[in-house]
Amino acid sequence: MSLDPVAAFVEGPHREYRERVAAFCRDEIGGRSDPESDAGARVRARELVGSMGAAGLFRPIAEADVRGCLVAREVLGWWSPLADSVFALQGLSATPGLVVGEDPGGWVARALAGDAVGAFAMTEWEAGSDVASMATAAVPEGDGAGHYVLDGGKAFISNAGIADFYMVFASTDPGAGTPGISCFVVPADAPGLEFVGAQVMSAPHPLGEIRFRGCRVPAGALLGEVGAGFRTGMAALDRLRPTVAAAACGMAGRALWEAVQHARRRQQFGKPLGSFQLIQEKLAESATELTAGRLLTYRAAWEKDRGAARITVEAAMAKAFSTEAAQRIVDRSVQVLGGRGVLASHPVEHLYRSVRALRIYEGTTEIQHLIIGGALVRGSSP
């Protein structure tokens, strides 16, 4: 895997950081496969948070260096989808605090040091893309003691059950829609916060459901202003959305690499598999899509790092294209590998299960298309 196609969008520190991340992966991951059980993934995720923090890998998150975050997720995605998700979730749980410039309870600093596992709790069973349908409510306590009481539930929450704290989005004005949503930093041991259970995925990942039953938190747990939670959450997602595309590129890059190695080694009908034109066509399509996705992705991050106020459309393009392309690239790689590509022991089989979720979380492909199309109709430049 090379940064050459995106050389114009990265600088010396990013190349140096890439080598640090790669060295971490060689030392901490090496030939070790991701766990194949939910319980194993939960244990491994907590281990990785600590080791990444000790290695200083979360620095780009703290510094809002989007290209640095891209480098991390592309390299981690190449080596281990679970390690990639660990980095991503620490970023997602810390970034709302970085956006607002507040750190209630010191949880953001602890997350970025690798001393605490964070979770971003926005999604509900009936409120996914439609955030305004959120039912979880936060009501000021009536005794004037300066507390809020949270009631409701969250589903499909990454790190649920292993997190030390949750960035919780709740309605403080149920009739106001998204302007009525506020954000709270809630410790996992807060009375009334319950881990309902794991939601097991095809590619093991610490996902689960949590519930609030009269969960009482101090007013100081409010992040930013009342009613600013949706804006804060969207600003965090805006900053991090290109990193999902980078993870997709990392996974796709690994799948393509495995396919190319196989095409070089495998002999069929007396000659290398890679000498067949139909195999070359698959590899060529994958390489072209991967390069295009990387260029879209690093260009979006470059715009943000050089001072763009918003990169909503650029990030949407990068995520939509790269995640969809990654699915195709991994699928083609399975086809090139043949029977080996569907063996549970093969990394491409694991990638086949892992890459699918990227087209859904942090905004589905369909939502990204609505963002792009809406901007075009309004006359915004792509």
Look at residues 127, 220, 103, 141 and name the one whose alpha carbon lies nearest to residue 178: 127
Cα–Cα distances (Å) from 163 to 46, 98, 170, 264, 267, in that order, read 9, 19, 18, 44, 48
- Which two three-digit tokens encode residue 375? 């901007």
Q: Within 101-228, where are the H helices?
A: 107-112
303 given a catalytic annotation? no
Q: Which of 194, 289, 362, 366 is catalytic?
A: 362
CA distance 347 to 345: 7
Q: Which helix (H) or strand (E) holds 292?
A: helix 277-305
Q: Which residues pair with 154 in a beta bridge?
A: 210
CA distance 157 to 69: 21
CA distance 353 to 281: 24
Query: For residue 135, how far is the Cα from the chain centroid?
Result: 24
Residues known to be catalytic? 362
